[in-house]
Amino acid sequence: MNDSTIVSIRNGNIFQGSSLILSNVNFQVSKGEFVYMIGKTGSGKSSLLKTLYGDLYLREGQGEVAGFNLKDLTWKTVPLLRRNLGIVFQDFRLLTDRNIHDNLEFVLTATGWKDKALMKEKIENVLNKVGLKGKGFKMPYEMSGGEQQRVDIARALLNNPKLIIADEPTGNLDPDTTDEIMQLLFNICRDYHTAFIMATHDYGIIQKYPARVVRIEHGGVREISAVGL
């Protein structure tokens, strides 16, 4: 894997338990690249994403993500891999009993940060990046769905990730808010050279914000164009 490659899966076979989900997977993502991942429910998208962040073990084939060999991962090294990644969820997964600042501080503490002043500076920095400057005092329930998704993106940015995996990040948002979030994701990709893999069912988004597209189907992964959706 060269320095510009963030994800490389070669001849990978991906299993859930004893069931083979995807076979002969060959998939690469470069630094600063935006890639859509599409496919029907149950096609294996989630299994591939879980393999990339160490939730599923790559038993057969070769794979590297952000410099980590997926075949060598252990319970000790999976957290180190995830510090180089950001994950954005459809359902936000914010802690509802604390404000936004404390949600983000919780993640920094969990990933080894100790200096309170540096943590405060980092939190202010990522909130500013996602257009939520000065909103750290708010509770999640005081924010709109779009604002909560921005917090989720801010959380993903905390450790300067080389790759962000976004699993249906606009699935619960209205069209106008979806546009705002997509513009934000593309801006982050461009300005910080962060690679993105975004799973989506919304082909309208791909037509409006074109980028590379891979389809998961028939137990494999194949490249397609946005025109051929």
Q: What is the pLDDT of residues 61-93, one digit of tens each?
A: 999 999 999 999 998 899 889 889 998 877 778
In this model, does residue 142 exceed pLDDT 70? yes
Q: What is the pLDDT of residues 85-129, one digit of tens each?
A: 998 877 778 899 999 999 999 999 988 889 999 999 999 999 999
Joined together, the tokens standing for residue 19 give: 């069931």
Percent of the chain with pLDDT over 90: 71
pLDDT reported for residue 119 = 94
List all residues 6 or more positions away from 33 whose beta carbon is below 8 Å from its beta carbon.
6, 189, 195, 196, 211, 212
Joined together, the tokens standing for residue 86 give: 């950001």
The candidate with the shortest Cα–Cα distance to 157, out of 202, 207, 193, 200, is 193
Percent of the chain with pLDDT over 70: 97
The candidate with the shortest Cα–Cα distance to 10, out of 57, 47, 44, 58, is 58
**Reported pTM:** 0.90
- Average pLDDT of every residue of the chain: 91
Total Cβ atoms within 10 A of residue 174: 12
Q: What is the pLDDT of residues 34-57, one digit of tens each?
A: 999 999 888 889 899 999 999 999
Helices of type H across 53-174:
78-82, 100-110, 116-129, 145-157
d(CA 139, CA 215): 38
* Amino acid type, 164: I
Q: Which residue has the higher pLDDT, 228 or 132?
A: 132
